Amino acid sequence: MPGTRRALLHRIAVAQAEGRAPSLVATVVRGGEAVWTGARTSVEGQAPDGNVQYRIGSITKTFTAVLVLRLRDEGVLDLGDPLEEHLPGTGAGEATIAELLAHSGGLAAETPGPWWERTPGTLRPDLADVLGERPFVHPVGRRFHYSNPGYALLGALVEKVRGASWEEVLRREVLEPLGLRRTSVHPEAPHAEGWAVHPWADVMLPEPVEDLGRMGPAGQLWSTTDDLARFAAFLAGGDDRVLSAESLREMRTPAASMGTADVASGYAYCLGLEIRHQDGRTLVGHTGSLPGFLACLVISVVDDVAAVVLANCTSGPAPFTVAADLVRIVAEAEPRIPAPWRPLREAEPAAVLELVGQWYWGTQAFALRWSADDGVSLEPLSGIGRRSRFRSNGDGTWTGLEGYYAGELLKPVRRPDGSVSHLDLGSFVFTRQPYDERAPVPGGVEPGGWQGIR
């Protein structure tokens, strides 16, 4: 609506003016497509549009993570595999693939030697040059520590398994299927120039544009708001040509043990994606920066709103804050209209219908529901307690997808006559009545039954 559009334009105008950015372009995505694009510039009549490339820095890591998850989904590797199993001889092979994706592999944050973002990749031709003599700064798997070299290793892993360059694999398996024709390893006109703005004077200095070489999978890419809008829609909903919705939900799930400061700030890292909590919303995506450029892509899955913000300055506007505000403006001004309720299309619902309804774990009441949106879900009726959605295994059992019960097996246990005795969930017994004496409740049930104070 006009009021929403003006609020969005006002927000990026403030960001460009107060952040002293040579230019800033932003896009809002809803319903899988870009619904608003705005731009501000210091050069009159030359505002960028959704087709102008900017360097996106560490948003590149999300693209690399998608390639790795594709290998996992094909059965080529497991995320729990040590890197050494697939890419031997790096000196960092004890870290697992999942740990590298989640920045919990214990590796250093940066490469040894000169600042890799402002120097040519030819200075680091081999992985040994990327890692140095002391690749680990923390015990493997113990804590989150953001590592750019870790994603260089993941890019090398993709190259080793696929037998082709990271750039070639990315284009063939992600960029082309998703129609991201303006996302590239090197800048392609029209593209923005990167600038450093003096902190105490309104003057600028051009930043160098380097080919990052081995570090490319950590931050090399250039892209546009149009392309990143399509990528955001993919990250929210999936595309079976590239990666399923289920695998993307896994990518959006926190995977690293965070430090106290990160937890306090509402930050968590997943598999190639960041999660931040802002204004009561959960926002998933990634930020990026390289000398001369700032970038951010964030998604509120619940609100069905995503935002992309790109600027061509080394520092200035806070891209995450701006993008989060764009999501908030749309979500609050134009709340998502729920899709119409529709019944399930299951051909034979009888087996599940027998199980839905109220169950008790000890004395705590739970409801087992079956819906078109969430599938089978278990939730506490009091609102306090463990809850989870479950995926059908096709054999009358289900596997937990989230929370405490993620990965745990839910199965109905039947009596000799075929009736359901109880539900077994990771050894927990759920009964139709609190401590049902007809079910095998661990520890047994007092034969005298329920009683008052004597």
Q: Residue 207: is its pLDDT beyond 60?
A: yes
**Whole-model pTM?**
0.89
Q: Residue range 229-239: average pLDDT?
A: 97
Q: Are 152 and 145 in contact (CB under 8 A)?
A: no
Say how far apart CA 117 and CA 173 lie, in whole Å. 26
Strands 274-278 and 388-392: unpaired
Q: Residue 350: is its pLDDT beyond 90?
A: no
Token duo for residue 166: 């990271």
Token duo for residue 89: 């001889």
Strands 305-311 and 357-361: unpaired
How many other CB atoms are found less than 10 A from the CB of residue 427? Answer: 8
Q: pLDDT tens digits, residue range 4-17?
A: 999 999 999 999 99
CATH 2.40.128 fits 350-430, yes or no: yes
For the chain, where do the domains classified as CATH 2.40.128 start and end?
Answer: 350-430
Q: pLDDT tens digits, residue range 158-181?
A: 999 999 999 999 999 999 999 999
* Residue 348: predicted pLDDT: 53
Number of helices and strands in the chain (H, E): 13, 19
* Residue 402: predicted pLDDT: 83
* Residue 349: predicted pLDDT: 66
Residue with tokens 């040590």, as numbered in its chain:
82
Residue with tokens 């497991």, as numbered in its chain:
78
Token duo for residue 125: 């031709």
Token duo for residue 272: 């190639």
CATH architecture of 2-333: 3-Layer(aba) Sandwich (3.40)
Q: pLDDT tens digits, residue range 360-391?
A: 999 999 999 988 776 899 999 998 889 999 98
Token duo for residue 210: 């380097």
Give the E-state strand segments of 150-266 in sequence order. 195-197, 204-206, 222-223
Q: pLDDT tens digits, residue range 105-146?
A: 999 999 998 999 999 999 999 999 999 999 999 999 999 999
Q: Are 412 and 420 in contact (CB under 8 A)?
A: yes
For the chain, where do the domains classified as CATH 3.40.710.10 start and end?
Answer: 2-333
Mean pLDDT, the chain, rounded, equals: 94
* Residue 124: predicted pLDDT: 95
Phi and psi (nearest 5°) for 228?
Answer: -70, -25
Of the two residues 373 and 63, the one the predictor is more confident about is 63
Q: Residue range 202-227: average pLDDT?
A: 97
Burial of residue 402 (CB within 10 Å: 0-12, 13-18, 19+) is middle
* Residue 45: predicted pLDDT: 77
Q: Residue range 205-227: average pLDDT?
A: 97
* Residue 346: predicted pLDDT: 63
